Amino acid sequence: MTSINSNTGAATALHLLGGTTQQLEAVQDDVATGKEVNTAKDNAALWAISQIMDSDVSGLQATSKALSLGEATVAVASAGAEQISDVVQEMRELALTASSGLVDYSKIEAQLAQKTEQVNSIISASQFNGVNLLATDVDGNGATGLSLPAGPDLSLLEVESADFEGSAQFDINNRTQITDQASAQAALSEFTGFLRFAVEGAAALGAAASGISGQNETVRDIADATKKGIGALVDANIEESAARLVALDVQKQLGTTSLSIANYSPQSIGVLF
């Protein structure tokens, strides 16, 4: 029965149209943001989990940046130690030549003095971001090594200084001066020890740089996996959302048409009076 006092058909059509409009707005948000869960209202449990996981990702990304900086710092020191090894090898060869007794000792000593300054220059230059792992005082504040975050759990990676400045095993500034064959032989023994120290220091720093690089790769992989997990929880299926968007738009148009028809029915009766 049609009534001119209450239009139940229009009320029903309006109710259905309202529901369709709400669904349409929700799907539009999904398509616009790429997320099915944007706020706690959408799904409180999934939203809370995703927020915690987002925090984990932020911590992992910060750790990765610190590890990258540390890796560069150690790599610079390792390269410096390798250069020192090469220079000390040259100094050892000069001492070996002088130990033959058939050279001008003053010229050999002059070359050794020059190379000693070269070693000191390499030590001073082997710093990155204010940190020098070839120095006794690594950062100018008394540190003897470098501490790096290994992960968001506050664990640390420790890299000790090779200490080319203060180690008794590399006292190159107080080396034996070559003035004769005997002093040349003494210097040769010293340079052999210096070379061993330099090679071991370079190897240790190289291994540390490799370890930091591996840890950084692990942290990045965990961050990527966590991002994928977040996506599985809150990301919208864009293809499905796009299809729903089209369907709901059609439903809205049909709902609008139904509402117009329902509103017209009482008016068509009214013309009879």
Domain assignment of residue 1, yes or no: no
Q: What is the tens place of the pLDDT at every residue in 115-162? A: 999 999 999 999 999 999 999 999 999 999 999 998 877 789 999 999
Give pLDDT, residue 2: 47
Q: Residue 103: how many CA atoms within 13 Å on its side-chain side?
A: 22
Q: In this structure, are 102 and 30 located in the same domain?
A: no
Read off the CATH number of the domain in which 180 is found: 1.20.1330.10
Give pLDDT, residue 157: 92
Tell me the three-class secondary structure of 253-264, residue by residue: HHHHHHHHHHHH
Spatial contact of 28 and 245, defined as CB atoms under 8 Å apart: yes
Give pLDDT, residue 196: 97
Full residue range of the structural domain in which residue 245 is found = 8-35+237-270
Domain assignment of residue 3, yes or no: no
Q: In this structure, are 109 and 241 located in the same domain?
A: no
| Residue whose pair of structure tokens reads 């130990």 in the numeric block | 99
Q: In this structure, are 93 and 165 located in the same domain?
A: yes
Count the neighbouring beta carbons within 10 Å of the beta carbon of residue 15: 12
Q: In this structure, are 119 and 186 located in the same domain?
A: yes
With cut-offs at 50, 70 and 90, classify the pLDDT of residue 14.
very low
Q: Which burial class, exposed, middle or buried, applies to 161 when counting CB atoms under 10 A from its CB (0-12, 13-18, 19+)?
A: buried
Q: What is the tens place of the pLDDT at every residue in 213-248? A: 999 999 999 999 999 998 888 766 555 555 565 555
Q: In this structure, are 99 and 217 located in the same domain?
A: yes
Q: What share of the chain is helix, strand, coil (3-state, %, to 5)?
A: 70, 5, 25
Domain assignment of residue 132, yes or no: yes
Phi and psi at residue 231, to the nearest 5°: -60, -40
CA 209, CA 72: separation in Å to the nearest integer?
Answer: 8
Give pLDDT, residue 67: 96
Give pLDDT, residue 43: 83
Question: What is the total count of domains within the chain?
Answer: 2
Q: In this structure, are 136 and 214 located in the same domain?
A: yes
